[in-house]
A and B are shown apart, each in its own frame.
Chain A
Amino acid sequence: MSILHNSLTRRRSLALAAGALAVALGATACGGGDPSTPALPGKPAGGGDLIQAILDAAPVATDAEIPAGSTMEAIRKRGQLIIGGSLDAPLLAQQNPVTGQVEGFDADLAKLLAKYITGKPEVKTVTIGTQTREAMLQAKSVDAVFQTYTITPQRATQVAFAGPYLTSGLAVAVRKDDTSIKSAKDLNGKTVIVGANTPAVTALPEVAPDAKQVAFATDPQAIQALLQNRGDAYVQDFTLLASGAKANPGMKVVGEPFTSEPYGIGINREDAQFKEFVNNWLKKIQADGTWAKVWKATLGSVVEGDAPTPPVIGSVEGS
């Protein structure tokens, strides 16, 4: 084909490719949004020390509570707790790129449980998608799941839930200049952004059957989509919205949460002993005020007011 084709030398085409990649990466950097946005929204300076103090004072289980052959004994022998969770959920479980520590309410509770069992807050987080939690627990790939895991009767047929350890709810956020949406009922006929695989996907049709739903994979993407007019509103967990609105002046949260989501700690369904152990631990840290301190240091940094009353263990169908 030499009449038609005069091939470039290998070196030249490599140089071209490198140049093109540099251009493309430059474009990526430009699209990166507001540089003043903090990497970890709502995280007060020194939050790590606060958590360290809480962890140092946290209780450790007595030997009597950890019988031979139990899951707890296996964890104690291993020296670390293996949990399924996220590393990208602000205020709940987000890995700090500087220290490598996972910070947030879910992550800190997991550290407290690890300390309670092994004596030191050693947690190995296996990042799992929301679609694989049941399978991971059934296969015993993780000891427990700490991932804003809403307790539902359907899920309770697959896994066991300790808790609820936190009650939250879905709320509505809109762009700052929007006055047409005041509560979840106003969402009928609107295009509504939700987080993919979040409870909002199923909760939205119940309050606003005529809303058109668009799902995005991550919270920052969903916020970006709202600000770019891809939808009229964004329905997400109240605390996440509060922290999002703090970092993005272009959006605001309207009305009160319109659902009640009880979050549980996912555990293998057969392991009733471990579930009871975790429930007893939850009762203990609720009673001694540790729970409220962790809430204050994480979620409390974007929500005004005191820590709420922790939910009653076993109070929800499926827990």
Chain B
Amino acid sequence: MDALTAHLSVLGHGLVTTVQLTVVTTIGAMLLGIVVATLRISPVPLLRTIGTLYVEVLQNLPLLALLVLFVFALPQIGIQFPLFTSAAIVIAAYQGAYLAEAIRAGINTVGKGQAEAARAIGLTFSQSLRYVILPQGLRAVIQPIGNICIALLMNTSLAAAVGVVELTQAANNVNLVEAQPILIFTGAGLAYMLLALIIGQFTGLLERRLAIVR
């Protein structure tokens, strides 16, 4: 156990970075997901095409490839962000595509009559989305959104490959000194599991609070 306890500050720093990255990215991905899902159901064909393109491109490329491209290829054309920011942008964009599909599924559960009624009483497209469709649609997919957030948490470990010292990289660095991979990565794994359990509990709670009783 000494291998873990002797390096608590390094591992703690990594854990904090992982949590920060997860929180920032979840917020970004959620906003992006709502926007892209809206694009995909909008009445304008061009916007629908943009939404579809976004989802298909980002879902069908590996996250690690996207990260490496963003961090190393963009500076070639003069665009460069700090590493943490780069990782946050890429993971948010990537998970945003998955969230968009989950949210779109939620929107599709809302009865057609609801949208028709909303338009009939004079709400605009965006008003009907904001007041009628999204509030009901999002409630229906809280659990899938929670699952995507857990996947997002696990995916933050890929930021280690582009120089962000989060929990996985911190564990790597500790292991480099201590040479006890099983102990150290079990410890890091338990920390990830704990975070995932917290997300899972939170989404469970939200779902019970907000579930639509039909």
Contacts and interface: CB of A to CB of B under 8 A. Distances in A.
A216 to B, nearest CB: 5
Contact of B80 (A16, A159, A228): A228
A214 B160 contact: no
Interface string B119-134: 1000001000000010
B139 interface: no
A31 interface: yes
A36 B143 CA distance: 51
Nearest to A20: B57
B178 interface: yes
Interface residues on A, range: 35 or more
Contact of B165 (A23, A215, A217): A215
Interface stretch (B48-56, B88-96, B144-152, B203-211): B48-56
Chain B interface main SS type: helix
Contacts, number: 127
Interface stretch (A46-54, A196-204, A277-285, A304-312): A196-204
B115 A230 contact: no
Contacts of A193: 163
A134 B76 contact: no
A88 to B, nearest CB: 13
Contact of B52 (A13, A132, A157, A158): A13
Given A3-B116, A130-B176, A158-B179, A228 B75 contact: yes
B100 interface: no
Given A3-B119, A134-B179, A214-B83, A16 B56 contact: yes
A31 B185 contact: no
Contact of A28 (B40, B69, B75, B179): B69
B56 A131 contact: no
Contact of B60 (A6, A21, A224, A230): A21
A228 B72 contact: yes
Given A16-B53, A20-B57, A24-B57, A224 B179 contact: no
B73 interface: yes
Contacts of B176: 130-131, 197-199, 201-202
Contacts of A4: 41-43, 115, 125, 133
A258 to B, nearest CB: 18
A1 B41 contact: yes
B189 interface: no
Interface string A170-207: 00000000000000000000000100111101100000
A167 interface: no
A158 B180 contact: yes
B135 interface: no
A8 B42 contact: no
B56 A154 contact: no
Nearest to A5: B41
Given A134-B180, A134-B181, A1 B169 contact: no
Ranked 3 nearest A-B pairs via Cβ? A31-B73, A17-B56, A155-B179
Interface of B: 40-43, 45, 48-49, 52-53, 56-57, 60-61, 65, 68-69, 71-73, 75-76, 80, 83, 107-108, 110, 112, 115-116, 119, 125, 133, 160-163, 165, 169, 171-173, 175-182, 185
18 contacts: A1-B41, A16-B53, A20-B53, A20-B57, A24-B61, A28-B73, A30-B73, A131-B172, A131-B175, A131-B176, A152-B179, A202-B173, A215-B165, A216-B162, A221-B68, A221-B161, A228-B76, A230-B80
Interface of A: 1-6, 8, 13, 16-17, 20-21, 23-24, 27-28, 30-31, 130-135, 152, 154-155, 157-159, 193, 196-199, 201-202, 214-217, 221, 224-225, 228-230
